[in-house]
Amino acid sequence: MQIPQVDLKAQYQAIKSEIDRAIAGVIEKTQFVRGDAVAEF
């Protein structure tokens, strides 16, 4: 019997569009190091 402790897929699906936008923004700006996203984090 398997008892799921955390449903990461469901959690991800709930915020997928927000995550995808954030990742796309970083990639478009090509600011991977010391960029705005890092400062906000």
Reported as a single tens digit per residue, the pLDDT across 1-41 is 888 789 999 999 999 999 999 999 989 988 888 888 888 88
pLDDT of residue 35: 82
Give the list of residues 6+ apart from residue 26 with CB closer than 8 angstroms, or none: 32, 35, 37
pLDDT at position 11: 94
Q: What does the pLDDT read at residue 38?
A: 83
Instruction: State how far the alpha carbon of 1 is from the alpha carbons of 4, 6, 10, in Å.
Output: 10, 16, 20
Contact 29, 35 (CB under 8 A): yes
